[in-house]
Amino acid sequence: MDLVNHLEGRLLFAVPKKGRLQQAALDLLAGSDIQFRRDHRLDIALVKNHPIALVFLPAADIPTFVGEGRVDLGITGRDQICEHEAVTPPTEDTGAEEVLDLGFGSCQLQVQVPKNGPYKEPKDLIGRNISTSFAGLSTKYFEALEAQYAGAATGDSITSKQLRTKIKYLGGSVEAACALGVADGIVDLVESGETMKAAGLEAIDTVVESKAVLIRSKHPSNPELVDKIAGRIKGVIAAQRYVTCTYNIPRKLLPTATKITPGKRAPTVTALDEPNWVAVNVMVEKVKIATVMDDLASCGAEDILVGNIANSR
C-alpha cells in the first residue's frame, strides 16, 4: 500500500536494471536533468524535480509493462519489443509505441550454428533443436521457414512431424547450448561477435536488427510530461551526435561550402565587416567532422573552429 501511495500521481518511467543498455540509459536521464537517488537494491526511485518515478526492470519485461500496464515510458531494445509482439500481438489499446531511436545498443539477433558443423543454411535446421532466449521470434522465424520448405517439397517423404522445429527456451548461456549438446543451433544476440567466435559458432542469418529505443504507452497518464521528457532526450541525443562548426569563407565560395556542410537543417550565414566574406555556423555529425574540416580548408574556408554541444532542443 505504501508503494501505491508513493507512485500515485507520478509518471512511471521504466529503465533497464542491468545489462548492456543500463549505463547509456542513465546517462540520457542525467543529460535530461532527471534527478533521482536510487537506494541500494531498490528497483524504484522517485525523481526529485519532476512528478516521475523510475522503475528499474529487466529490459525484456519493459515492453509488457509499457504496453499492458501502468508504465508510461520505457527504454529497451527493439529486439525485446519484437519478441513481446511475437508472443502478444498489439491491439488498438495495448502494445507500446516507439517514440525515438536512441542510437546506442546496436546488435543483431542471429541464427548461429557450430562453425565446423553440418548446418550451413537456415533451412538445414528445420526439424532440429534450437535454443534461445527469444522463443517468440524464433518460433515465428522457423514457422515461416517450415511453411516455405513444405510448399517447395514434393512427394510424401517429408512429414509435418519432421518439419516441426523444436524451440527450447534458455534464460542465459545460450551460446553454450550447442557445445553442451542441448541444441543443434541457437538464436541469440550478437554485438561484437567475440562471444560467438569464442563458442565456436558462426551466424547464418539475421532475424532482427536492434538498437535501444524509447517507447511510450498508448494511454499515458500525463501526455504533456511524456512529450516534454521525450523532447529532452531527443535533445541530448542530438548533442551527443553533433558538433558545431564555424568558419569564414568568401561569399563566392559559399555554394561549394554549404554542399560540404548542409547542416542538420540549414547553415546559419552571417555577413562580415570584411567585404565579400561571410561567417558560417553549422551542425556537423561528430563522426564526419575531421573529413569535413579537410574539405572546407581545401575549398577556401578559413578560421575553421569546432565546438561541443552540451545540450539542444
HEC assignment per residue over 241-276: HEEEEEEEEEHHHHHHHHHHCCCCCCCEEEECCCCC
Task: Let me know whether 126 and 141 are in one domain.
Answer: yes
189, 210, 231 - which closes a domain: 210
In a domain, 297, yes or no: yes
In a domain, 226, yes or no: no
Task: Let me know whether 100 and 112 are in one domain.
Answer: no
In a domain, 141, yes or no: yes
Task: Let me know whether 121 and 187 are in one domain.
Answer: yes
- Rounded distance between C-alpha atoms, residue 20 and residue 104, angstroms: 10
In a domain, 230, yes or no: no
CATH number of the domain within which 270 lies: 3.30.70.120
What is the three-state SS of the chain?
Answer: CHHHHHHCCCEEEEEECCCCCHHHHHHHHHHCCCCECCCCCCCEEEECCCCEEEEEECHHHHHHHHHHCCCCEEEEEHHHHHHHHHHCCCCCCCCCEEEEECCCCCEEEEEEEECCCCCCCHHHHCCCEEEECCHHHHHHHHHHHHHHHHHHCCCCCCCHHHHCCEEEECCCCHHHCCCCCCCCEEEEEECCCHHHHHCCEEEEEEEEEECEEEEECCCCCCHHHHHHHHHHHHHHHHHHHEEEEEEEEEHHHHHHHHHHCCCCCCCEEEECCCCCEEEEEEEEEHHHHHHHHHHHHHHCCEEEEEEECCCCC
In a domain, 266, yes or no: yes
In a domain, 236, yes or no: no
In a domain, 170, yes or no: yes
- Rounded distance between C-alpha atoms, residue 78 and residue 148, angstroms: 26
CATH number of the domain within which 175 lies: 3.40.190.10
Task: Let me know whether 80 and 216 are in one domain.
Answer: yes
Whether 185 contacts 162, CB under 8 Å = no
What's the confidence (pLDDT) of residue 8? 77
Instruction: Give, for all 313 residues of the chain, the pLDDT tens digit.
Output: 456 666 778 999 999 998 889 999 999 999 999 999 888 778 999 999 999 999 999 999 999 999 999 999 999 999 999 999 999 999 988 999 999 999 999 999 999 999 999 999 999 999 999 999 999 999 999 999 998 877 655 444 455 556 789 999 999 899 999 999 999 999 999 998 999 999 999 999 999 999 999 999 999 999 999 999 999 999 999 999 999 999 999 999 999 999 999 998 899 999 999 999 999 999 999 999 999 999 999 999 999 999 999 888 8
What's the confidence (pLDDT) of residue 161? 56
Name the domain count of the chain: 3
What's the confidence (pLDDT) of residue 164? 87
In angstroms, the first-to-last Cα distance of the chain is 39
Task: Let me know whether 40 and 168 are in one domain.
Answer: no
All three cell numbers of 190? 550478437
What's the confidence (pLDDT) of residue 159? 54
**Domain ranges, residue 36:** 2-105+211-221
What's the confidence (pLDDT) of residue 257? 97
In a domain, 59, yes or no: yes
Task: Let me know whether 8 and 91 are in one domain.
Answer: yes
Task: Let me know whether 119 and 206 are in one domain.
Answer: yes
What's the confidence (pLDDT) of residue 187? 97
Pairing of strands 107-114, 52-57: unpaired
Task: Let me know whether 78 and 172 are in one domain.
Answer: no
Task: Let me know whether 257 and 296 are in one domain.
Answer: yes
Task: Let me know whether 68 and 217 are in one domain.
Answer: yes
- The count of other CB atoms within 10 Å of the CB of residue 65 is 19
Task: Let me know whether 183 and 38 are in one domain.
Answer: no
Radius of gyration of the chain (CA): 25
Task: Let me know whether 90 and 216 are in one domain.
Answer: yes
188, 221, 254 - which closes a domain: 221
